[in-house]
Structures are given as C-alpha cells and as structure tokens.
C-alpha cells in the first residue's frame, strides 16, 4: 500500500463536504494537509480541529494567477504535493436551459472546469519531477447521466471525466496517478449552494432516502490514494443504494408545444 504518513495532501474545497471529510481521513494517517477554500474562518476551524501539520490556504480557485502564485509559494514543509484532491466545485440552479442564468453557467465553468485546471496544472510539474503523485478529481454521476436542469453542471463534470482520462494519457510513464471520483447524491452543503441558501428546498432533495455521507466519499478518495503505487483506479462511480436510473423521457405531443412549458 502507499504510505500516506507524512505525504502532503492538498485539498481544494476543504471547508465543507467531501473536501473536509477527506482532510480528516488523510490527517488520521498522519499526512500533512494543505486546506484550500475561500471561507477563512472555516479554514482556521479545520486547522484547529485536525491534529497535525496543516496549512490553511485561503484561495479562490477561479483566480488563475492567485492559484499559481499560492501553490508556487507554499512553505517548504508543504511544497511537495503528493496528492491533490480537486473537490472545490458547485452546482448553481436546476433551471431548464432556456431560462437559466448565464452568470450561474459562467460560475460553474469557472470553478468546476477552470479552477480544477489551474490547481492541477500548478502541481503537475513537481509530481512529474519527483516521479510520484496522485491527482484525484471530483467528477459526478452527472458527468455521465443527464437529468433535466443538470445542463451545464453535468457538462462541467463530463469535462472533469474526460480531462482525467486525458491526464492519464499524458502522464503515462511519469509515475503520476489520476482518478476521477464520481459520486451520486450526497447530503453536504451542495444542494444548499445549488438552491442559493434555500435550506428547505435543499432538504427535500434527500427526503425519505439515505444519501451518501461525505465520509463515504472520503473513504473512496482515501482508498484510491492508499492502493499500491502501481495501481491506478481511473474512475470510481458511487451512488446511494436508493438512487438509480429512469427510462428515456419521451414527448408525446406535437413538436414545439410542450418543451416550451418546461
């Protein structure tokens, strides 16, 4: 197995959900953790909670220059990133495409695609030079299976899936591993963010079913990282037992009359 004690693990989106749970899981192994997020008070609270070497890094992953400078400027103890967990991301809204907000679309592209690209690009040269490392991306089942209102969110996660496979192609022979973790429904702050702070609407998403927990997903993230260094899990798709698939949707009225009602 890969020894994660003393490994440096940089986690984006570490102030909540999967990122925070992953930080706790890797810290339990004795890893050094770089916590990335925008909410500084949360970063400080995580630092206080985790026992061991932790470097809180307040950063907006959408800011290309800030990402590159912050990662290049990490203190020596945390500078050799062994594992990057790209968890910063969000869905905004569940509107049908003709009515959705372009600002929301921009924000999802800027965070889920461009932010993830910037963080990945910043750590890759060091990993390649050291001939070891692991990039673990948070994709989603939404990157593979479409659902109404998932439009650009699903598109960003399809990018993450294909980008992850493309990285595998580029990094062949480098010793660097890449995994796309693709969860289904998980009750984090994800739906509260998607519904712009409407906690009632967010709670309805998980009503009457048992979603994944952030710890369930952190266990998957940790498992792929802890496997022996010659083993690469390309994709790991994980859903709650109470989530599955539906049939294709069919419009039974003449063209042009229904879909406008959406």
**Among residues 67, 136, 141, 218, which is the contact residue for ligand 8X3, using CB under 6 A?**
141
- Minimum separation from the CB atom of position 217 to ligand 8X3 (A): 11
Instruction: Respond yes or no: is residue 145 known to be catalytic.
Output: no
State the minimum distance, in angstroms, from the CB of residue 253 to ligand 8X3: 28
Among ligand 8X3, ligand NDP, none, the one that 138 touches (CB under a kind-dependent 5 to 8 A) is ligand NDP
Q: Is 184 in the site for ligand 8X3 (CB under 6 A)?
A: yes
| Stretch touching ligand 8X3 by CB under 6 A, among 35-43, 95-103, 138-146, 217-225 | 138-146
Task: Decide if 228 contacts 56 (C-beta within 8 A).
Answer: no
The pair of structure tokens assigned to 5 is 């004690």
With CB under 5 to 8 Å by kind, the binding choice for 226 among ligand 8X3, ligand NDP, none is none
Task: Give residue number: closest CB to ligand 8X3.
Answer: 140
Q: Exposure of 103 by Cβ count < 10 A (0-12 exposed, 13-18 middle, 19+ buried)?
A: exposed
**Interface with ligand 8X3, residue 123, by CB under 6 A:** no
Looking at beta carbons only, is 21 or 141 nearer to ligand 8X3?
A: 141
Residue 45 or 79: the one with the smaller Cβ distance to ligand NDP is 45
> Per CB under 6 A, does 140 bind ligand 8X3?
yes
Q: 179 and 235 in contact (C-beta within 8 Å)?
A: yes
Alpha carbon distance 217, 37 (integer Å): 19
- Residue 17, contacted partner among ligand NDP, ligand 8X3, none, CB below 5-8 A by kind: ligand NDP
Report the C-alpha gap between 55 and 105 in whole angstroms: 31
The residue within the footprint of ligand 8X3, chosen from 142, 152, 214, 221 (CB under 6 A), is: 142
Integer Cα distance of 178 and 236 in angstroms:
11
Between 88 and 225, name the residue whose CB sits nearer to ligand NDP: 88
Instruction: Choose among 18, 26, 245: nearest CA to 134.
Output: 26
Q: How far apart are CA 262 and CA 251, in angstroms?
A: 12
Catalog residues that contact ligand 8X3 under the rule CB under 6 A.
140-142, 150, 184-185
List active site positions. Answer: 153
């Amino acid at each position: 197995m890969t020894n994660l004690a003393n490994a440096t693990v940089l986690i984006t989106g570490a102030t909540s959900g999967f990122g925070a749970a992953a930080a706790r899981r890797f810290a339990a192994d004795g890893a050094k953790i770089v916590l990335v997020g925008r909410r500084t008070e949360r970063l400080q609270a995580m630092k206080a909670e985790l026992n061991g070497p932790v470097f809180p890094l307040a950063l907006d992953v959408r800011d290309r220059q800030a990402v590159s400078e912050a990662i290049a400027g990490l203190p020596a103890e945390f500078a050799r990133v062994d594992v990057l967990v790209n968890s910063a991301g969000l869905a905004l809204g569940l509107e049908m495409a003709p009515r959705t907000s372009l600002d929301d679309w921009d924000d999802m592209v800027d965070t889920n695609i461009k932010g993830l690209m910037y963080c990945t690009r910043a750590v890759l040269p060091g990993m390649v030079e050291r001939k070891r490392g692991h990039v673990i991306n948070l994709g989603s089942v939404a990157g593979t299976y479409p659902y109404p209102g998932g439009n650009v969110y699903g598109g960003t996660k399809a990018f993450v899936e294909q980008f992850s496979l493309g990285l595998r192609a580029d990094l062949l022979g480098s010793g660097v591993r890449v995994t796309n973790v693709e969860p289904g429904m998980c009750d984090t702050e994800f739906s509260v963010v998607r519904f712009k702070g409407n906690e009632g609407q967010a709670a309805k998403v998980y009503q009457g079913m048992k979603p994944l927990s952030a710890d369930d997903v952190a266990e998957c993230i940790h498992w792929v990282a802890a496997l022996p260094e010659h083993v690469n899990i390309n994709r790991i798709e994980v859903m709650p037992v109470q989530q599955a698939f539906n049939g294709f949707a069919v419009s039974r009225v003449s063209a042009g009359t229904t879909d406008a009602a959406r």
